[in-house]
A = this chain, B = another copy of it.
Amino acid sequence: MAKRDEKAITPQSEDYSQWYQDIVLRAELADYSPVKGCMVIRPNGYALWENLQKALDGMFKATGHVNAYFPLFIPMSFLSKEAEHVEGFAKECAVVTHHRLGADPAGGVRPDPDSELEEPLVIRPTSETVMYAMYSKWIKSYRDLPLLLNQWANVVRWEMRTRLFLRTTEFLWQEGHTAHATHEEAWDEVVRILDIYTRFSEEYLAVPVLKGVKSESEKFAGALKTTCIEAMMQDGKALQAGTSHDLGQNFAKAFDVKFQDEKGEWQYCWQTSWGVSTRLIGALIMAHSDDQGLVVPPKMAATHAVIVPIYKDETGRARVMEAAASLKARLAAAGLGVVLDDRDTVSPGFKYNEWELKGVPVRLEIGPRDVEQGACIAVPRVPTRPLREGERRQKESLPLDGAAEHLQSLLNDLQKALFARALKFREEHTYRIDDYAQFQRDIEKGGFFWAHWCGSSACEDRVKEETKATIRCIPFDGETEPGKCLACGGASDRRVVWARAY
């Protein structure tokens, strides 16, 4: 049997999970670190995170939010202050117990026994507690409201099984935390943020999402209500792509976050929190990539195009390289990320494969004849139109004159095509279902299942246990419709969305 090519990507159809890992490692997006459960985000992956930060941060600021930074450490006792929160978060945490290393009599170093902390510190799994302890100090009057803060930070939730970007002990995220004078204002904020997440996911990641509310069992520990966006991956599984929580006054009461209203009376604040994480990079990868490698939507790409010069001899080389360099300069001047792959040591075909693997949105091939004709050949990573008879790859002639505008237009088409393809995929894998036995069979092939639910946790638990599917959300856009619960047959007035999830 032929030895497996170590550098080949496992086909998606053969082993989806291995396919995903191959892409992350081979496109050099991330790597396993020497610390169990923690990943290293490599430059190609971090560039995606930087673009995400830039886009989302701009949206947050445009809606009046400002950034701040709160401590990594949370006193252990803080986690216990809100009753539900302690249940949800005081579990798989990294606990700091000592503040010094000293020589180990047995050799090497060890935690210095004399440096044990009076109260252990927990590495933040999320920052409600430590932030609201400060809010309690800062907020005095209705004039201090709304308080609209966000923080970009690392958080830690101990994980035994790692999946790069999707499940790691440490991950990067943003967490917004706001305080308001009324519940109505707080709810408006919850929805405003969910709309921002939706816009970001659909316009930048090119990933369509369902918006909705979580069931009781899936909501954030300590919240009144959790809203979320849910995306479908290419294996038909759901991925929660962002959450926005209505915290009510639960934390305000636990942390004494109060304000004097216009009448001089003390009231508890109404609060929200919301976040997205490096998970979204996993969503981007899983939603668009293929067996050739990564696919990056142009709006998320640091490198928009790679120029591959093609020539046979030195004379050709000189002319082509000159045109390629001038093309690169023109595209860069227009603000596009562009790489000129001028390596002499590998063939054009090798370069094509490598840049496809890395997901660069458009390849620009330029040879002597192209130079003569004042054009180059643009090959989008994924077709932006149906392929013609006999066409294996979409190839467009791109005039060197006005190249930046032409390329931008092709990138826009590609961005739209990726979203349309993902939306079509989701529609083709979305089902209305009323029969539980059939659901139990169909769930195996993945997809979103709109089914009735009586509202009881017992039914939710049973379906989860029997099928591994959970209620992803009670969609905002769902229509009222009488029906019978998928599990127990009890009365239901609307369908909810079930799926297996990451």
On A, residues with C-beta under 8 Å from B are 31, 33-35, 38-43, 46-47, 49-50, 66-80, 86, 90-101, 108-111, 115, 120-123, 130, 133-134, 137-138, 149, 153-154, 156, 158, 170, 172
Contacts and interface: CB of A to CB of B under 8 A. Distances in A.
Nearest to A28: B138
Nearest to A38: B71
A109 B134 contact: no
A170 B72 contact: yes
Contacts of A149: 43
A73 B35 contact: yes
Query: Dominant SS at the A interface?
Result: mixed
B109 A101 contact: no
B100 A97 contact: no
A47 B66 CA distance: 8
A68 B149 CA distance: 25
B38 A72 contact: yes
Given A33-B130, A35-B74, A96-B123, 16 more contacts: A33-B133, A33-B134, A35-B130, A40-B71, A46-B67, A46-B69, A47-B67, A79-B109, A86-B109, A92-B99, A93-B101, A95-B97, A95-B98, A99-B158, A110-B120, A153-B154
B46 A68 contact: yes
Nearest to A121: B35
Determine how many copies of this chain the complex contains: 2
B69 A172 contact: yes
Contacts of A92: 99-100
A300 B106 CA distance: 51
A92 B124 CA distance: 20
Contacts of A77: 108
Please name the 3 residue pairs, one residue from A and one from B, whose CB atoms are nearest each other, closest first. Answer: A38-B71, A43-B66, A41-B69
B67 A40 contact: no
Nearest to A151: B46
Contacts of A134: 31, 33-34, 40
A263 B100 CA distance: 46
A196 to B, nearest CB: 19
A342 to B, nearest CB: 14
Contact of A96 (B33, B49, B94, B109): B94
B46 A66 contact: yes
A160 B151 CA distance: 26
Which interface residue of A43, A71, A98 has the most chain B CB atoms within 10 A? Answer: A71
Nearest to A86: B109
Contact of A154 (B31, B72, B110, B122): B72
A149 B28 CA distance: 14
A322 to B, nearest CB: 23
A113 to B, nearest CB: 11
